[in-house]
Structure 1
Amino acid sequence: MLISEASKIANLTKKAIEYYTEQKLVLPVMLNNGYRDFSENDVERLKRISVFRKLGLNTEEIKAVLADQTNNTLQKISVQKDLNMQKEQVKKSILDKLSCDQSYAEINADLKAIEQSATVTEKLLEAFPGYYGRFICLHFARFLNESITTTEQESAYAEIITFLDNVPSLNFSEELQSFLIESTKHISIENIRDMIEKTKQSIENPDKFLSENKEVLEQYLAYKQSEEFKNSPVFKIQTMLKEFNSTSDYYNVFIPAMKKLSVSYAEYHEQMEIANERLLSQYPDIAKLNN
């Protein structure tokens, strides 16, 4: 079909379609008479492009999304947009402080904290693939809004950046990749935030968590010791992640640096260790599973 018909079906102006064609977002066949012939697939692609544009994606982002059959790119962009919204909210509060005569020196420290937080979260999202990257990014983002005021924090920040710039790729086999994509494709940012919040609540009051979830925990631990679990893709992924975190210096460099950089993360990590001790005291068999 010609551009006029494609325009009506896709509910786009000819100018918009011409622009998307110039940007190679859509590639209609060029006829001998110089007119472009848009297929039904081209029109469906135009409809998708229109949706992405209304959602604020730029041309390069749309190209990446259209080229990705897994939705991983779209999920990463969603996380980035979410983090950007948080950043804009913080900027709004800083403007409010300025309007109330807060000093520019204090404001600059707040702005620097925003920039550093954005740098770390973006690098986390790039360093770790798929769902794991989204989870890690959103998990640590809440600890990265504190201003860097000491030389120890500055050194820790530099360590984190160096680690993330040089961390080796985490490569799953094609089979495990397919499993991970399929099993996590419906997990939204809200789902991840909910999981993070529940984890936070469990370590803040481990005794209450263990008491209220005793039956579920016992069933879970029994399953983890079964042959079915040990032959499952989840077990293989968990084993790979443990090995990766150990060999990549995630535990020896990244985590200690995060504890130095962020007071709130250091407190969270201490709570997590106490909660783990409570868990191990009630379920000693889990120690064997964690070795």
Structure 2
Amino acid sequence: MKISEVMEITSLTKKAINYYEENGLISPSVNKENNYRDYTKEDIEKLKQISVVRNFDIPVKKIREILVNPKEMEKIFTEHLNKIKAEILNMERSKDIFQLCINDINFPNTNIGKVTDDMMLLKRSLDMSEREKEGYMKKELIRIFPGFFGRYICLKYSNYLDEPIDSREKENAWIHLVKILDDSHELKVNKKILENMESDKIDWNLLEEIIKNRDKDFYSMNEEDIQNYVDNLYDAELTETDLKLLGQFISYASSKDNIKYMNDLLKLIDEDLKVLSSKYKKFQENLSLVNCKMKKVYTGCSKVSADEIENNMGITTLTEMTFVGCEYKKFIPPGKTSKLVENFRKRIDEISNVVNPGDIYTINGIDSLPQYEKPKTLIHKLRFSFIVGVQVSKAEQIPKDMQVFIIPSHKHAWYTTSEGSKNLKSFMKNEIPLITFISQAFKIVKFPVLTLYSSDCKDTMESAVYNYMPVE
């Protein structure tokens, strides 16, 4: 029997059937000529049993035990029966309150206050029933898409899967969403993640809380809140915690293929999610406003005048330079650079043969040179190297916490800014226009980027910072 027929008989998705086969719950024969599966009556009976059992949130490992020992079903049915009894009690309670309200209304000299109290009690009871229905979509996706796929989809959209399906429009959107998910290509998953999942090492609740906190209240912002959000976003500095969370995200979205996969999938289910979740709809509306405001900020500061080009930019070839300095193997936010420079300036006397004691350099990307190893960080697949140091004529008397770095001769496009960038907004205003112009006029290459802070470079508007961008 073909998979399309099996899907119709068992009401299972293609992904579910394939998943159960991969986990050894069924073993269909494979036609060597066309690689099609041929499902037997025994396979279908097992899939029907699995389909029933999955309604009770039974994990795959437990299902395997049930297929071997049908008596395990008794425990499952007993647990589900107890849940049904609890629901019946709740419905009976609502029924009694309805009857009480009717009796009060029909009673001579009706006490409206008493009826109101009864109605409030009924409302609380009905609200409780509705809350019990919340999360249905999340629960159902995990059931019909067993394994990592269902879990990952629920994790990505956990904030938007908590509303009941209480209208025909939502019902249609739900059916369409499930079909799109079932017809989508298989998600490429990091082997280590699968191993952690199978051994129950992944704390899905914790991951879900992280995502909820990330999106918290964003869907309820008004326009003023959005403007404040944009302002705070530009003024923000990344903390160690931010970097760790970034590392967690990158470790899960481990490849460009997976990121593209989720983006393409979202385009297909975006309209369905807007119908199924009022929060998602509001989130997308606010996200659109944020992007629009950010674009205006960028557009407003992305132009560079002819005078700026003539007075603040040029081309030079720096000869080979030897530096002694401190290396930081982590991301340094723009606002922290000036402090590191000034702290290093106090230690210049510890270094011998300094070419110009007043000039402090920062170097980004020393690991682009083959002679230097790439420093490891907590962030998977991303590496940072930031150096603060001085140029020396000869490397002698090196402090224990410093190293020697040699930068070969190379062509650079230089530009000046009035001060070091304190945050993302000042970086966009002061440097993005100049970098954009350089990238259009020259080819920026993989090579260390140097920034020079002269002796009079304090945190003032009059101070100049010289930036050297490698080009060819």
TM above 0.5, yes or no, is: no
In terms of fraction of residues, the more strand-rich structure is 2
In terms of fraction of residues, the more helix-rich structure is 1
RCO greater where, 1 or 2, for CA within 8 Å and sep 6 or more?
1
Which TM bucket (shorter chain)?
A: 0.3 to 0.5
Task: Name the TM-score, length of structure 2 as normaliser.
Answer: 0.30
Determine which structure has more spread, i.e. the larger CA radius of gyration. 2
